[in-house]
Amino acid sequence: MLREVTLDDIRPIAIGAGILGTGGGGNPYLGGLHLASVIREKGPQPLIDPFALADEALVCVVGSIGAPTVSIEKLPEGTEMARALRLLEEHTSRRFDAVAIAEIGGANSMQPLIGGLQAGIPTVDSDSMGRAFPEIQMSSYLFGSDAKVAPYAMVDAADNAAVVPQAASDLWGERIARNIAVSMGARAGLAACMMSGAQLKASGVHYTMSLAHHLGRRVIEAQEQKSDVPEAVADVLDGQVIFRGKISDVNRRTTKGFARGWVRIDGFAPPEASGGSLEIEFQNELLIARINGEALVTTPDLICIVTEEEGEPVTTEMLRYGTRVAVIAAPAPQQLKSEIALEVVGPGAFGYDVEFRPLPGGVIGLPPDAG
Amino acid sequence: MLREVTLDDIRPIAIGAGILGTGGGGNPYLGGLHLASVIREKGPQPLIDPFALADEALVCVVGSIGAPTVSIEKLPEGTEMARALRLLEEHTSRRFDAVAIAEIGGANSMQPLIGGLQAGIPTVDSDSMGRAFPEIQMSSYLFGSDAKVAPYAMVDAADNAAVVPQAASDLWGERIARNIAVSMGARAGLAACMMSGAQLKASGVHYTMSLAHHLGRRVIEAQEQKSDVPEAVADVLDGQVIFRGKISDVNRRTTKGFARGWVRIDGFAPPEASGGSLEIEFQNELLIARINGEALVTTPDLICIVTEEEGEPVTTEMLRYGTRVAVIAAPAPQQLKSEIALEVVGPGAFGYDVEFRPLPGGVIGLPPDAG
């Protein structure tokens, strides 16, 4: 288990979180550059074992909200997370003992490290997705406990701020936050989901920062050994490489604060097992993978696109015609597969008329030694 | 001058504010029903002479934000204004001495009476437009003093709430509030623009509740005497009846939280002076009136559509093919015609490539005896 995050850990975390991001969560390379500059200034960020948290500790979640396509063009001012944390503390007249991770995927794995470091609050080695999802209410902290998304605070690079003291439901909270994010240029810092240590322990997907780090290191090792990197990724995530091919078409639009669309990948050498075309639909994140119209992998199970040679993550906003990629499918953490969870993160929640067909197995969210 | 608003005052105010609303500000009939139910429960609402306010008194503005087309379909829960006031008080840890009127036009003339009555705070006989405008920053309280739109508070009928503690500018504040309003179903209660009594006195368009009441009474009198009602309206507002005809076309869409479009009115008996067609463009409010493509009346001067026979206001969302109407043009209050004001409420602010050509004269915002 990782005890702190140093400069040397950034590259493995960026790779691992990039892959776990299933296309979303924000660009991990840019997130890594930002985190490096903050660690250089302030030193390593301590990482807390979730079960070392006191039951009565006060925790909140921070992350960036918006469209990944925007986040690579509109750079942050840099202190959004810490300012959002402080604003929420001010509004509620309470102080946070720790910062948890909304989604381990992409740059959002790093925002709680950045915000925590800047605010002097440690980060918990726990997230609420074990991957990335586009909307705030898609969080095991919320559907796995009686925590609520509101009160929450948002800030942008231009010194605009907003607090939502209450929302009629978590879904209403998401709608309001999304529209505020749109008015802030489709990128804002968010501090939300206040909860106790007990709530976090009961509902989180734990040790995912350690998992991202471990995954990234295995990728780097495989790259150095010139072995099959996508297979190494599948091995760490208890998944499998389901497709290898070349991106032949991308349909992507930035709409209502999301990047939505689909990508088509044509298999190498059609007569092979990996022949034909794989189509993946996304809403910030990759959600449904289909071959010949049949759903092969369905949300919340993970669909990860990596470059075929190097096994580096390919995020939604970086999908480009001609890139040679491998697609890995991996089983979602157990916390996302309960009946109540599937109502929020299953195919129906995204408007797909498809049943969730769980992949067998799964290691995301288990203690490091159990994997 | 009106000293309090009783049940008997509602109908004249609804008519007068409906006409001053230049098509917007929300449906005054529905606003009047709401106000009547609150006055029946709590008694009359006291109205304060703006110059009777202490310089150091703390004032804020309340009103409904959204699209008028929505406000006739989605009724309020009823306590939005008072809840927004209380939320802003709570957030700033201050208490308001009085509530001012954002816009005297339409139902928004009544929201500060409703919210004030429910919260036990008197209403000031002063608004910041002398008419209605679609956006928050179009307020003489803002461009006429160093008051700011933020901090502000918003609530909706479904128990959602939001506070914006700071905005990079008043225009940013408007953008964020607008998007929050959209996520609240294009209708929300807003408490904003905290200012001192001194700021209000220096920047407001005063005695406009009294003016709306007086205008409504003159309309009712003219109706009873069967005299020319549109002429009576023009007389009170120091304006003139510029057109009489029948609505022949309406283009109206509810988009991004606004009702936008245009209306065409064909003159009675083409050979007459009032012949031809008048086209009026609106964004919630009527902004530019053109005959044969030439701009005849330009914002911030008032363009008021009333029914030709009865002189009752016709709001943007009630524009319908075949209605017989008269159009009155009236000079805007002086507070809207300074160079700095015209940058915010002149034709250019709405994207029209037209010069503001002020109508001569004007009485809106002058002390009652000066009119």
CATH of the domain at B124: 3.40.1610.10
Q: Is A256 on the interface with B (CB under 8 A)?
A: no
Determine the pLDDT at residue B347: 96
Q: Are residues B64 and B124 in the same domain?
A: yes
Q: Are residues B333 and B249 in the same domain?
A: yes
pLDDT per residue as tens digits for the range A137-180: 999 999 999 999 999 999 999 999 999 999 999 999 999 999 99
> Nearest CA to A359 among A263, A241, A266?
A241
A166 vs B contacts (CB less than 8 Å): 159-161
The reply to whether B218 falls in a domain is no
Q: Taking chain A (371 residues) in consecutive chunks of 10 residues, what is each chunk's mean pLDDT?
A: 96 97 89 96 97 98 84 86 97 97 95 97 98 94 96 96 97 95 91 98 97 97 97 97 95 80 87 73 94 93 97 92 97 96 95 94 86 45
Domain boundary among A150, A175, A206: A206
Domain boundary among A177, A206, A235: A206
Determine the pLDDT at residue A271: 44
Candidates B77, B80, B136, B163, partner chain A, best to mutate (most A CBs within 10 A): B163
Distances (CA, A) of A181 to A97, A337, B136: 26, 29, 19
Determine the pLDDT at residue B275: 63
Q: Are residues B49 and B190 in the same domain?
A: yes
The reply to whether B19 falls in a domain is yes
The reply to whether B251 falls in a domain is yes
Taking CA–CA distances from A157, the nearest residue in chain B reads B168
Q: Model ipTM?
A: 0.81
Q: Is A167 on the interface with B (CB under 8 A)?
A: yes
Q: Is B184 on the interface with A (CB under 8 A)?
A: yes
Q: Share the mean pLDDT of chain B.
A: 93
Q: Are residues A23 and A114 in the same domain?
A: yes
Count, in order, helices (H) and strands (E) of chain A: 11, 16
The reply to whether A218 falls in a domain is no
CB contact under 8 A, B176 and A159: no
> Nearest CA to A25 among A315, A326, A307?
A315
Distance CA B149, CA B195 (A): 10
Q: Is A54 on the interface with B (CB under 8 A)?
A: no
Q: Are residues B144 and B272 in the same domain?
A: no
Determine the pLDDT at residue B118: 97
**Whether A44 contacts A5, CB under 8 Å:** yes
Q: Are residues A273 and A196 in the same domain?
A: no
Taking CA–CA distances from B92, the nearest residue in chain A reads A91
* Cβ neighbours for A149, distance < 8 A, ≥ 6 positions apart: A136, A137, A139, A142, A167, A170, A173, A174, A177, A192, A193
Q: What domain count does chain A have?
A: 2
Determine the pLDDT at residue B256: 72
Q: What domain range includes position B358?
A: 228-370
Q: Rg of the Cα trace of chain A?
A: 19
- Sort B361 into a burial class: Cβ within 10 Å, 0-12 / 13-18 / 19+: exposed
**Whether B302 contacts B359, CB under 8 Å:** no
The reply to whether B217 falls in a domain is no
pLDDT per residue as tens digits for the range B273-325: 556 899 999 998 999 999 988 999 999 999 999 999 999 999 988 899 999 99
Distance CA A280, CA A305 (A): 10
Q: Are residues A142 and A238 in the same domain?
A: no
Q: Are residues A134 and A235 in the same domain?
A: no
* Cβ neighbours for B49, distance < 8 A, ≥ 6 positions apart: B1, B125
Q: Are residues B194 and B268 in the same domain?
A: no
Q: Is B168 on the interface with A (CB under 8 A)?
A: yes
Determine the pLDDT at residue A70: 73
Distances (CA, A) of A200 to A49, A102, A134, A142: 11, 11, 21, 10
B58 to chain A, minimum CA–CA distance in Å?
21
The reply to whether A216 falls in a domain is no
Q: Are residues A83 and A191 in the same domain?
A: yes
Query: Distance between the two ends of chain B, CA-based, in angstroms?
Result: 12
The reply to whether A217 falls in a domain is no
B166 to chain A, minimum CA–CA distance in Å?
5
Ranges of chain B with pLDDT below 50: 271, 371
CATH number, position A362: 2.40.390.10
Q: Is A162 on the interface with B (CB under 8 A)?
A: yes
CB contact under 8 A, A168 and B178: no
Determine the pLDDT at residue B75: 85
The reply to whether B222 falls in a domain is no
Determine the pLDDT at residue B317: 84
CB contact under 8 A, B164 and A165: no
In the structure encoding, which two tokens stand for residue A175, read together?
């709608």
Determine the pLDDT at residue B264: 96
CB contact under 8 A, B164 and A166: no
